[in-house]
Amino acid sequence: MRHEYILHKFFIIFNRTNLSCYRLLFILLLLISGNGIALRAQQNGRVYYSVIPQPRIVKPAPGDFNIKTQINICPDIRDSIFLDSIRYMPAFILSDYFENIRYPDTCPSDNYIVIRKAPVEDTDNSSAYHIKIRRKKILLEAPNEKGIFYGLQTLGQIIAGRRAINSYYIPAGDIIDWPEYEYRGMMLDVARHFFDENQIRYLIDYLARFKINKLHLHLTDDQGWRIEIKSYPELTRRGALIEVDSTPGGYFTQKQYSDLVAYARNRYIEIIPEIDMPGHTNAALASYAFLNCDNKRRELYSGTGVGFSSLCTSKDTVYGFVNRVIGELAAISPSPYIHIGGDESNATPHNEYIRFIDSVEKIVRSHGKTMIGWDEIARAHPDSGTVVQFWIHKNEAVKASQSGHPLIYSYAPYMYLDMKYNKRTPIGLHWAGYINLKKAYTKTLEPVDSLDINKFIGIEAPLWTETIRNMRDLIYMTFPRICAYAEAGWTPRKERNWRPFRIRLSLIQKLLPPGFYKDKSVPWRYPEKHKLLSD
């Protein structure tokens, strides 16, 4: 332990100084000391580069790369199709860090980044990348465009972190990285309060920086129906009119939705649509009388209660409705998933609920999609490929994992973005407790009861918007907690470490959207003080 501590201190000094003699000595030490120390150096590498999520492998090397205001990008000339497809990427990611990005025909002898299509050793993960930072050049290799995108995000964060400490040098080294989980998501409830496509684009740009790759949109609820369904125009003509507190609502036309999907896709984020049913359906029940058992349209609802509405699950016409809604959605959504909610259907008789979920699962499958549902759906008998999203019901989640369902970890007491940080947080709820940044970081993916964590395909942090009225509220509740969740989804557990995470976060705080919550556990005001790196 002491040995490790001394090595760590040494590493900090070495990182702080830019003195190549120290650096050289350190590298020599690594080389002659064999694997044991090299491994610890990787662990200390947590503070070597300011990257969130923490990369899987970081290996220091001698020397520094000098960051100038201009950079040359030299794509690998051997693959022109690949070159075309990634050409726009460095500009839109690295333009935040360089005043001038050039694409010279022949690569200069200094100050350049080479982007190359190549496999990453030891993995066939489709999100992998390898960055080699050397004195004169940076080499970014990945087997595909997605890996290049992630590598560029990593590079951007490294540069931002160096700028934060007024350094124009990046210590040389290798970063070999790929995610632990394929599913790394956030959910946004656009039903309680509507957020339009420009606001969601803004959010997407920030999520992409942290390698979040799924955005689940909760499109319908008691207060509003937010997606155009051409077969049922009243759903948006009436059902989208208001939101919580009766402020004006809104919805996405199918064209707007498709444009948003394309925008997200360019940032390697998949949008997953949710139509919540059979409960949470008052907006639909207020739009069409036939969806109600008594054939009477409901009033629009602007409160925040739950569990009072249900589609009339005993009517054949309701299944016809569901089929057409899912059909239209499947046609405009390239995601392999459709989320059908299924939560808090307290107004649906139990046997009816089971029959409904089983039938809807078949409908979703008939449109070529895999169903996702909140954990209550495990009470029914969905196909074993159906994904169960664990939010609160442990027994249902255990049952789902025992019957072979893939699961998503969204446990409310650890992961709900609408939970207040502490009792002084002016917005948000606290029925699942308070979630400060440390809890978000340290608890996510902790086993709950006998749940087998190996059955999880990833994580998702939901933001319910009963009290979230605008972008300011959204940013305040989402950032920086989403950075902690992003790291839980990407970084292997043994590489996750709360204390250096705080330092990395401080170093790259400029990459968070203005108005994020300044959780007290992070030294926001002193990122430039290297001393902090030794915490």
Least distance from C-beta 343 to ligand ACM, angstroms? 4
Task: Break the chain down into helix, strand, coil percent, rounded to 5.
Answer: 40, 20, 40
Least distance from C-beta 432 to ligand ACM, angstroms? 9
For 147, left (φ over 0), alpha (ψ -120 to 50), or beta? alpha
Give whichever of 198 and 395 is closer to ligand ACM, judged by the CB atom: 395
* DSSP character at residue 158: H
Least distance from C-beta 218 to ligand ACM, angstroms? 9
Q: Do residues 205 and 224 make contact, with C-beta atoms less than 8 angstroms apart?
A: no
Residue written as token pair 């000094």: 13
C-alpha span between 229 and 235 (Å, rounded): 7
* Structure tokens that stand for 464 in this block: 């319910």
Amino acid (1-letter code) at residue 61: A
- Among residues 344, 352, 358, 383, the one that binds ligand ACM under rule CB under 6 A: 344
C-alpha span between 262 and 28 (Å, rounded): 48
User: For ligand ACM, how many residues bind (rule: CB under 6 A)?
Assistant: 4
Q: Kindly tell me the sign of the dihedral angle through the C-alpha atoms of 28, 32, 37, 42.
A: positive
Residue with smallest beta-carbon separation from ligand ACM: 343
Binding mask 303-342 for ligand ACM (x = CB under 6 A): ----------------------------------------
CA 155 from chain center: how many Å? 19
Give whichever of 52 and 215 is closer to ligand ACM, judged by the CB atom: 215
With 0-12 / 13-18 / 19 or more C-beta atoms within 10 angstroms meaning exposed / middle / buried, residue 171 is buried
Identify whether 344 is a catalytic site residue: yes
Residues numbered 370-399 forming contacts with ligand ACM, rule: CB under 6 A: 374, 391
E strands of 278-382, at which residues? 337-341, 370-374
Least distance from C-beta 391 to ligand ACM, angstroms? 4
Q: Kindly tell me the sign of the dihedral angle through the C-alpha atoms of 523, 526, 527, 533.
A: negative
Q: Do residues 419 and 478 make contact, with C-beta atoms less than 8 angstroms apart?
A: no
Catalytic residue (choose from 145, 182, 344, 352): 344
Least distance from C-beta 443 to ligand ACM, angstroms? 17
- Among residues 343, 460, 473, 495, the one that binds ligand ACM under rule CB under 6 A: 343
Beta-carbon contacts of residue 198 (< 8 Å; ≥ 6 apart): none
Is 411 a binding residue for ligand ACM by CB under 6 A? The answer is no
Give whichever of 145 and 344 is closer to ligand ACM, judged by the CB atom: 344
SS3 state of residue 394: helix
Give whichever of 47 and 215 is closer to ligand ACM, judged by the CB atom: 215
Give whichever of 228 and 343 is closer to ligand ACM, judged by the CB atom: 343
Least distance from C-beta 461 to ligand ACM, angstroms? 12
Q: Do residues 345 and 376 make contact, with C-beta atoms less than 8 angstroms apart?
A: yes
Least distance from C-beta 126 to ligand ACM, angstroms? 30
C-alpha span between 442 and 478 (Å, rounded): 17
Give whichever of 196 and 344 is closer to ligand ACM, judged by the CB atom: 344
Give whichever of 329 and 417 is closer to ligand ACM, judged by the CB atom: 417
Question: Exposure pattern of 7-37 as b/e (b: 16+ CB <10 Å)?
Answer: bbebbbebbbeeebebbeebbeebeeeeeeb
The residues annotated as belonging to the active site are 344
Instruction: Write out the residues near ligand ACM by the rule CB under 6 A.
Output: 343-344, 374, 391
